[in-house]
Chains A and B, each alone.
Chain A
Amino acid sequence: MILFSLFLILMILISLSLGYIKIPMMDIISILYGKISNNIQIMKNINETYIAVIFDVRLPRILTCAAVGAALAVSGALFQGILLNPLADPYTLGVSAGAAFGACIAILLNLSAAFVSVPAFAFTGACITLFLVIFLSYSSRNPMAGLSSNNLILSGIIVAAILSAGISFLKFIANEQVSVIIFWLMGSFASKTWLDFIAVMIFLLIGLFISMFFARDLNLISLGAKSATSLGVNLKKVTIILLVTGSMLAAICVSVSGIIGFVGLLIPHTVRFITGPDNRKLIPLSMLAGAFLLLFADTITRAVLPHEIPIGVLTALTGGPVFCWIFKKNRFK
């Protein structure tokens, strides 16, 4: 845990120094230390541009990226636990399709203040989708069988299929705005602000607290519905609370940065090989690993590659093959 935190802090520092303007590591540490301790003396002999680049451009982007990576990984761990499926991810219930649909509408309507309206619409879309999926898979007559993982996955797939057809239709009627939609869908952390970071961070902290609160119940759920109930888990309550928590985490991520695949699937799955299936260890460690990995990917696309490519594309292109390798290796060990 401490090791992972150190890795993450190191990654943030490295990431801060890399980019169009290279900033020496010593200056970064001085700037950060100066700012935290409110000691202006330290920052005196450092280039003004560096300070501006770090605080107005890089730090918000880097921190947002790390927070999104963390939130996606926690969300993925929750979904894998509730749906009893190590291959579930934050988008299994169609949250991403809902968010994308909302964002498309906002882009299409060409609302003013796009930087607020697009995330707001995306978030609303994600929430409506979530409640639709829960409504579809819930049965008042037999509530226990109602929220079973099969029902949830099936409802999620149906709703997502309808929504992606809807997105295609919106793209079709969008004319010249189609490129905006496509770029938004691919995900990016370019020009993220402190506001984005604070929004994600609030959700992340609340989400992490709720997941840790129910982490042991989540362990018991993997014993099966009947055993979990007989051991004192209020299955219906815990399932709904964790579904909403996981989906809200995914929704805020999609709203802020578009659809970024594979972090939510790959990270909890891989971390489980290190920690074992105990969610009390899996969730916090996934959070750190998710933040690290997404920041690593974002730093590569921002600072290393000659041309910035959408982060969603990069994670899927690199994460996919890595996942195939892990999957194959552990399957036939």
Chain B
Amino acid sequence: MNWTQSLFRLVEPVVPPRFVVKRLLLLVPVLFGVASVVFAILHLAPGDPAIVIAGQRASTEQLEQIRQELGLRRPLWEQYLSFLWDAARFDFGQSYSISRGNSVRSVIADRLPITLELAIYGQAAGILLGIPLGIISAVKQDSLTDHVTRIGALTGISVPIFWSGPLLILLFSTYLDVFPTSGRIDSTLFLPDTWTLFGRELPLTGMITVDTVLLGNTEAFLSAAHHLFLPALVIGVYSTALISRMMRSSMLEVIRQDYIRTARAKGQGAKITLMKHGFRNALIPVVTVIGIQFGTLLGGAVLTETVFGINGMGLTIVTAIGVSDYPVVQGTVLTFALLFTLVNLVVDVTYSYLDPRIQQ
């Protein structure tokens, strides 16, 4: 039995392939819809790409030449069809402005790991803080700890990142001067493009904390972690709040179940019952929330990156919209949509595995 067969055997009984294929096919209309909306908005919005490229000093003739070459004089339906065809191949052409002369693909390849890294750390902070807080809150229901946790969670959900981010910068960077104001690493530390494994040169991941570890550069790693702390915290607060609230309500529901009472009646200790029977079952809806939350974190990255000046996908979208760099806007928005739908797919598959009724 080769490895593909083993893999198939491993996966096949867990989630029926038909279910996964069906969900994958459902991605097509979603992405088609997003692509169409993005195309429509950009073509309805004011702004002439020719001026973006040639600048204020360009003559009317030069602008017209550029419009012709970009195909902007073709009928709209023709432009739309060619856009869809290119989008299907994930080819959005070249950036007009923010990365002039480079393909949108390379822009995305540069930026995506930055955003993913931020979202992963934000998610990690959310899980590490949210789950214990939720459990404590549920176990000590209606106590002072519970009230404080719940108020904290509500506040965390309610306070927008564009407010909490600058406040944290003001406190930790301006007044206390313990964290840097922006960026991902100290401005004087530069990393090479590749790292070496067993004498082979390999490309870096683009995630700076991972790369500094791969390169074995402790100083750079500490600097990267130091720079990442505040932005990850800002994203993590929202995530923590949501996870802890979900964990609390799920836990409260579970500990009232008959099987918990039975376990206790059999003489099992409260802590063991809680962790062995209660916690595991209470985790099912939380896993779903964590998955969906990861998609939301990507959205949160737009604000966080803007506030902290981190050059990920979020800041790129904002900048590209600001300078009418349409190919970059199209590429990044569709990538976000693709990521979001893929994360949801993974959540669905996981959930369907945990609760087979969902496959019906």
Q: Do A and B bind each other?
A: no
